[in-house]
Amino acid sequence: MSEQVQTRVENGIAILRINRPPRNVLSLALCRDLLEELIKAEQDATVSGVVIAGQGVGFSTGMDLIDFASGGHAPSVARLGQHMDQAQKPIVAALHGPVIGAGLELALCAHARVANSKTMIGMPDVALGLIPGGGATQRLPRVLGAQTSLEFLLSRRPVEATHQRFDALFDQIVPSDQEGVAIALAQSLAETGIWTRLRDHERGLSDPAVFQSSISDLRVKITNSDSPENDIVDCVEAAQLLPFDQGLEFEAVRFRERTNTPHAQLLRHAFVADARARSLPPALASNALKVEKVVVLGRSADVADLAAMVLWLGHKVWIESGTPNMAKALADLTLKRLDRPEFKHPPGQAKPADRLTVGAKGTEIEEADMIFDTGELTPDPPADLKEGAVWIVTSGSISAAERGQEVSAERRTLRMRKLLKTAHLVELSAPAATSNTTVATTHRALSAAGQNVVMTADVPGGLVGSLFSVLSRCALVMLAAGQKPGDVEAAAQKLGLRQGPLQMMDVLTPARSLHMMRQVFEHREAPLAPLRLLSDRIADATADNETVGDHLLVFHIHAGQSFSRDPELQGWVDEWREEYPERARTWPQMPLERAMLCALVNEGARLNRKRVVQRLSDIDLAAEKGLFMDRSKGGPLIQADLQGLLGLARSMKALEPLDPTLWAPDPLVVDMVKNGKRFF
């Protein structure tokens, strides 16, 4: 018996229980252990049948994509299914909670299924650019027919097991004790010997004409012939035209082909990066402490954003802003923030207004489990922090380690960065003295708030700020070399960015963008000359009118908060190039989007070499979640793998004279090209 598959024998039935918290994902190792336990049960003369069940919140949420992306390209559930098809003893699946993807395929391989009435089933493979690889396209149509099977396989959405269209999929649906009912069913099947007639591929097909009509109707709606949706239709059609074993092989071939397509690789890569960021090693996660009371210190609107996030989680929040009036104003702004769709009030929680406090008792910090410090106030050293309390510095202008000393919380202090308010990614940087408990508690609390959390070294700008600074510097170099602002923004969108770098600088504000870039590049001792265009633009735009606003590059905000292009920027850039001919470079014959990609890839290599990130996938995750890069197009590093790093390195060399800081190939890039390596 392995840790991931717990086995016991009850009344002659072997119960194999999947035990891989929290969602029982099917890793290759788990599938191997499950197969070994099945073989043992078959060889045990005292065992007459088998029940497969799931421990915890559900049966299984599918295959482990982290494991899959690390080299496990074989559809391991397919191997289990092949063995189960030949089993000489009845196998019953006891289902509860989520039964998703490969988890459902494993259940379909059983000879019978008993489901709890609250079971949810789903096949979301197409969302990852994949198709089922464990036999679902062959087994489902033989039970449900073509129409229901195809709609289910293509919909991506989970459905309730009690839905009437899925009645034939389950032998019994019970309100509780599905495992006990499954044991009784396995005993009955073993005693009567009729279980062999329950194999799904022996139940027969629906009317062939209706089957083919359903396939034809859906095929017309799929416009892309090279898509996972089209592959699924082909596989379901094969279920009608081919014998079962040949249909399985047809699905396996399509699965392998689809797995290796760039589209599938990009989506899978994005999913894995997201999963890695949300998870902590079990040993570290077990150190996390519960958070109930939170203090937010500061005077800016950032306080309202932090307080809203914490209130949404159901915690109690106290705002300290130096004066009662300021605290009250920020409390009102916090409640307005909670009107946004992403902060929909969960049922069962006390109202946010009842959990938000601004009146000071003097002991709030000492009683808090977590303190967010924007750096806008100088807090008095607390008399004594609560045991396990966490102090989180959100300002990039003060030292987290020094703040920890000031408030006597050296082992409890972290820095948290979040560049853009709407991004769902935060960075945590821990000074050397910070404890694992502090890291685990903060990581779990922020992950629960729907944030992707990455651990980074504490460097100016952090991970997202570094990528943003490089992309913004790239845009400034392009403008200085005579490229049109609209072309720069369009190139960024071709690369996969939702917003171009000029609009991003406007959203962040040009002054703050310039400050960040200066911090980032001064720290690297890189020339600041390429930033001159932005500083001159800020100076000229505000010279005659200090109330012109923060948005003054390509876009500015009118009444109603709608962005519009600034028609005067192009003329201003032309005049600037005439005034500073020594800065007006000549752009080479290079697509702008390729130049942006080269700069981001080079920066990603540098960040990895300098150990700013723990995982290469965090760089692509930061581009996707922090800079709003389209996950279907992939982050810069996976794009480099797919396009070929050698070609990108050659483009870097061609661009290097324009700005070596951006395009002189990083030593890691040079080494990878020399040795034929990839990022992933």
542 vs 107, which has greater pLDDT?
A: 107
CB contact burial 237-270 (16+ within 10 A = b; e otherwise): bbbbebebeebbebbbebbeebbebebbbbbbbb
Q: Which of 28, 139, 122, 29 is nearest to 85 (CA)?
A: 139
**Helix residue ranges, H only, 121-163:** 136-144, 146-155
Report DSSP letters for 515-540, one per residue. Answer: HHHHHHHHHTT---GGGHHHHHHHHH
Contacts of 593 (CB under 8 A, 6+ apart): 491, 492, 494, 495
pLDDT in tens, 598-616: 999 999 999 999 999 989 9
Q: What mean pLDDT, rounded, does the chain reach?
A: 89
Res 198: pLDDT: 52
Note if the bond before 324 is cis, omega within 30 degrees.
no
pLDDT confidence bin for 556, thresholds 50/70/90: low
- Return the number of other C-beta atoms located less than 10 Å from residue 581's C-beta: 7
Contacts of 515 (CB under 8 A, 6+ apart): none
pLDDT tens for each residue of 422-468: 788 999 999 999 999 999 999 999 988 778 899 999 999 999 999 99
Count H helices and E strands in the chain, helices first: 30, 19
Asked whether residue 203 carries a pLDDT value surpassing 60, the answer given is no
In this structure, what DSSP letter does residue 625 have? I
Position 676 scores a pLDDT of: 96
Task: Read off the pLDDT band of 391 (50, 70, 90).
Answer: very high
Question: What confidence tier does 76 reach under pLDDT thresholds 50, 70, 90?
Answer: confident
pLDDT of residue 612: 96
pLDDT band per the 50, 70, 90 thresholds, residue 559: very low
Round to whole Å and give the CA distance between 326 and 358: 10
Assign 613 to helix, strand or coil: strand
Q: How many CB atoms lie within 10 A of CB 369?
A: 21
> What pLDDT is attached to residue 447?
87
What is the distance between the terminal CA atoms of the chain, rounded to a whole angstrom?
A: 34
CA of 340: how far to CAs of 7, 32, 378, in Å?
48, 46, 31
Q: What is the pLDDT of residues 501-541, one digit of tens each?
A: 999 998 888 889 999 999 999 999 999 999 999 999 988 87
Beta bridge partners of 8: 15
**Which pLDDT does position 47 carry in this prediction?**
97
* Mean pLDDT score, 182-208: 74
pLDDT, residue 382, reads 72
pLDDT (average), residues 625-634: 92
CA 615, CA 487: separation in Å to the nearest integer?
A: 33
How far lies 301's CA from each of 196, 327, 373, 376, 585, in Å? Answer: 66, 11, 13, 11, 40
Does pTM top 0.75 for this prediction? Answer: yes
Kindly tell me if the per-residue pLDDT of 74 is higher than 60: no
- In the three-class reduction of DSSP (H, G, I as helix; E, B as strand; rest coil), residue 374 is classed as coil
- SS3 sequence, 253-293? HHHHHHHCCHHHHHHHHHHHHHHHHHCCCHHHHCCCCCCCE
Choose the weakest-confidence range: 162-176, 201-215, 286-300, 334-348: 201-215
Q: Whose CA is closest to 462, among 426, 488, 424?
A: 426
pLDDT of residue 348: 64
Assigned token pair, 346: 């969960």
Tens of pLDDT, residues 461-505: 999 999 999 999 999 999 999 999 999 999 999 999 999 999 999
Average pLDDT over residues 337-354: 73
**How high is the pLDDT of residue 73?**
46
The reported pLDDT for the residue numbered 342 is 60
Q: Taking phi first (over 0 means left), then psi (-120 to 50 degrees means alpha), and beta for anything else, what does residue 496 get?
A: left
Residue-wise pLDDT tens digits, 111-168:
999 999 999 999 999 988 999 999 999 999 999 988 999 999 999 899 999 999 999 9
pLDDT value of position 560: 46
Report the alpha-carbon distance of residue 155 to residue 354 in Å, rounded. 41
**Looking at the predicted structure, is the pLDDT value of residue 34 above 50?**
yes
pLDDT band at 397 (very low <50, low <70, confident <90, very high): confident
Instruction: Give pLDDT, residue 278.
Output: 77
3-state class of 467 per DSSP?
Answer: helix
Whole-number pLDDT of residue 18: 97
207-241 per-position pLDDT tens digit: 678 778 888 888 888 888 889 999 999 999 999 88
* DSSP one-letter string for 172-238: EEESS-HHHHHHHHHHHHHHH--GGGG-GGGS--S-HHHHHHHHHHHHHH---SSSHHHHHHHHHHH
Cα–Cα distance, 637 to 640 (Å, whole number): 5
- Kind and range of the H or E element at 357? strand 356-357
The residue-averaged pLDDT of 34-44 equals: 96
The 10s digit of each residue's pLDDT in 250-282 is: 999 999 999 989 888 888 888 888 888 877 777
Per-residue model confidence (pLDDT) at position 122: 97
pLDDT at 280 (0 to 100): 76
Residue in 679, 652, 677 with CA at minimum distance from that of residue 663: 652
Residue 151 CA to residue 569 CA, distance in Å, equals 51
Query: What residue type is 252 in one-letter code?
Result: A
